[in-house]
Structure 1
Amino acid sequence: MQVSVLASGSKGNAVYVEMDGCRLLIDAGISATRIKKALAALDVDAATLDGVLITHEHRDHIAGLTTLSKWYHLPIFTRRATFAHMSCRAQLPVECLQPIEDGFRLHGVQIMPFSTSHDAADPVGYRVQGSKCMALATDLGFVTASVQAAIDGADVLVLEANHDPEVLKNGSYPWPLKRRILSNRGHLANSDAAWALARLRKQPEKVFLAHLSEENNRPELAQDTVQGILSRQGIALDFAVASQTETVSMVRN
């Protein structure tokens, strides 16, 4: 299994997952050219992707989708309401659209979408299960019981640690935006990510802290906050902080 976060943050998101020979892209929120180059740096031809999984319709998750689909005609999987609310919906090849509701299999890998609490039409995270398991949960205001269950047992977890509430409250964002981020349909705070990890019954081998705010967080602050809470619970995890500009990867045999 390989998990590579190609980009993560408010300017664009894309995660590459390879498991048991199945190659997936979760979100395409950066340019198709950048996705192609980032995959090439991993010795992966973008044309060999088996599918693109979209979490929700916000631009930082679909910005490169139109060009990517025109270049490679890849199957695109997401909820019907997400397709309906995409700004680029009319530009996507009809034959590429694969609406999903429940779990499905793709080249021997089980893919389970799970609902998240975010201000989008029908946002989801994904659990990808084969010989190993990875889960991705970003863009969520809080961790519901169903999200907690969906991320439990993952060998690799990509989890949002978007902001520090005090940094956000004292920052320059207008109050309506602050209120949106802090709401149950906004983004996950560092401490909330930590407590979600603390509640896991099975500890993952690797955790990527993802979707960090450039203004309301810092990589060292996110990691220190999460590790501090976990250490007080007697939990030690292997962390990496995802980047907006650089690929961060892990490979497990």
Structure 2
Amino acid sequence: MQIHVLASGSTGNATYIEMENTKLLVDAGISARRIKQSLDKLGAKVEDIDGILITHEHRDHVNGLTTLLKKYNLPAYARPDTWQSMYCRAALPDECCRLLPESLDIGKVKVEPFSISHDAADPVGFRLFAGDSKVSVATDLGFVTPTVKDALSLSDVLVFESNHDVDMLKNGSYPWPLKKRILSNRGHLANTDAGWTLARLNRKAHTHVFLAHLSQENNRPELAEETVADILTTQGCRLGEDVTLHLTYPEKISGICEHK
């Protein structure tokens, strides 16, 4: 099993997941050219992607979708309201645009979307199962509901939002309406929210966690990692044994996670 966060943040999001020789993308918010180049570096081919899973219609999650579908004829899956609200929907080939059901088998991977709280049409996270392995992705949400907590539990690998430091956001340059949106239950998770969610999550013996969608304006990678690590440690979690934290970046591929 391999997880590679190709890009994460407000400028674009895309995650490559390979399980049991099934190759998936979660979101395509960077250019198709950059996705291809990133996959080339990993020894993978964009034309071999078995499916693209779309969390929601915001541009930083779908910017590369038009070229990917037109050039490579890849199947993409999203909720009906997500397709309807997508700015580029009219340019996409109809045969590539698939409706996302409550459960879907792609190759040897079972895909189960779950609803999240975000200011989009019908946003979802994903949990993916193959054999005895589970990967979960939840990168844009303002509040962790019991449904989300249950969906994330017992993941081997978790790509999870740690968007902002609350003090940096409140004291930063963003206009107040934008700050209010980010802080709302339909906005984005703070570092402390991520830390306490992970601390209270029902986990396997060892979980890899990618801290994702970090704000370039209102966060720093080392601050996100330190905040989450401090909370986990105070709650008795052994870093590197119970949980291993990985950082993600807007302009480069995150550290490779190979979990067997």
Determine if the TM-score, normalized by the shorter chain, exceeds 0.5. Answer: yes
Residue type at the aligned position of 1:211: H
Query: Is the partner of 2:102 in helix, strand or coil?
Result: coil
Structure 1 residue 246: deviation in Å?
0.9
1:41-63 residue CA offsets vs partner (Å, 9 max, x unmatched): 00001000000000000000000
1:101 shift after superposition: 2.9
Cross-structure match for 2:174: 173
Whole-angstrom CA distance in 1 between matches of 2:217 and 2:18? 32
TM-score (norm 2): 0.96
Give the corresponding residue for 1:184.
Answer: 185
Following superposition, the deviation at residue 201 of structure 1 comes to 1.5
TM-superposed CA distance for 1:251, in Å, is 1.1
The equivalent of 2:10 in structure 1 is 10
SS in 2 for 1:225: helix
Q: Distance in 2 between matches of 1:98 and 1:4?
A: 24
The one-character-per-residue Cα deviations of 1:178-211 (angstroms, maximum 9, x if unpaired) are 0000000000000000111011121452100000
Q: TM-score, normalised by structure 1?
A: 0.99
- Give the residue type in structure 1 aligned to 2:187: G
More moved, 6-15 vs 70-79: 70-79
1:30 maps to: 30
Partner of 1:153: 154
- For residues 32 and 188 of structure 1, what CA distance do their matches in structure 2 show? 28
Structure 2 equivalent of residue 247 of structure 1: 253
Q: How much does 1:109 deviate? A: 1.0
- Give the unaligned 5+ runs of structure 1: none
The amino acid across from 1:10 in the alignment is S
Alignment correspondent of 1:213: 215
- Output one character per residue of 1:83-106: Cα deviation in whole Å (capped at 9) or x when no partner: 000000001110001111301111
Please tell me the residue identity of whatever aligns with 1:220.
E
Structure-1 separation of matches of 2:45 and 2:165: 37
Aligned pairs for 1:125-164 within 5 A = 125-131=125-131, 132-164=133-165
Q: Distance in 2 between matches of 1:160 and 1:47?
A: 28
RMSD of Structure 2 on Structure 1 (CA) = 0.8
Distance 2:158 2:63 in 1: 24
Task: State how 1:193-212 maps to structure 2 within 5 Å.
Answer: 193-203=194-204, 204-212=206-214
Secondary structure of the corresponding residue to residue 238 of structure 1: strand
4+ residue runs over 3 A deviation = none
Report the identity percentage: 55
Q: Which amino acid aligns with 2:74?
A: L
SS at match of 2:252: coil
- Equivalent residue letter for 1:56: H
